[in-house]
Amino acid sequence: GAVVSQHPSWVICKSGTSVKIECRSLDFQATTMFWYRQFPKQSLMLMATSNEGSKATYEQGVEKDKFLINHASLTLSTLTVTSAHPEDSSFYICSAGQGNEKLFFGSGTQLSVL
C-alpha cells in the first residue's frame, strides 16, 4: 500500500516555542492531505485539510494562526504548532489519499509541551 511518512515521531518542547511536523507521501503525489489530532482515549478529530498550492481549510474551532499548515509540494505538507502550550499536547496524525477513496496515515507525532 501507499506510504505516508511523518516526522518527528515524538517531540518535547517548552511552553511558548513552536514545533514543526512534516508529512510526506513517499510513493505517490497527494494534492490533498489531512491533519488530525487525537487526545488520549478519544477519537481522531480533523483539524484541517491541506491543499497543495493553496490555503488550508480549517475545521470549526481550530485556530489557523496557531496551527500553520503549508503544502508546498505534491509530496509534503507541514503543520507548525506556534507558541505551543501544555493544552496542545496531543497525538497529531497526517493522512494522504491515493485517489479519493482511501486514506493512508502517517505514523503520528506525540507532542508534549512542558
Going by their DSSP bridges, the two strands 32-38 and 19-25 should be labelled as unpaired
Do 66 and 22 meet the contact criterion of CB atoms below 8 Å apart?
no
Minimum distance between the CB of residue 3 and another protein, rounded to whole angstroms? 12
As to burial, measured by CB atoms within 10 angstroms (0-12 exposed, 13-18 middle, 19+ buried), residue 49 is middle
Instruction: Give the SS3 label for residue 17.
Output: coil
**3-state class of 9 per DSSP?**
coil
Find the binder of another protein among 26, 85, 102, 112 (CB under 8 A). 102
Show the site string, 45-84: x = touches another protein by CB under 8 A, - = not. Answer: xx--x-----------------------------------
User: Among residues 93, 96, 111, 113, which is the contact residue for another protein, using CB under 8 A?
Assistant: 93
* 101 lines the binding site for another protein (CB under 8 A): yes
Of the candidates 59, 53, 76, the one whose C-alpha atom is nearest the C-alpha of residue 6 is 76
From the list 11, 106, 111, 113, which residue makes contact with another protein (rule: CB under 8 A)? 106
User: How many binding residues for another protein (CB under 8 A)?
Assistant: 24
Binding site for another protein (CB under 8 A): 1, 6, 32, 34, 42-46, 49, 91, 93, 95, 97, 100-108, 110
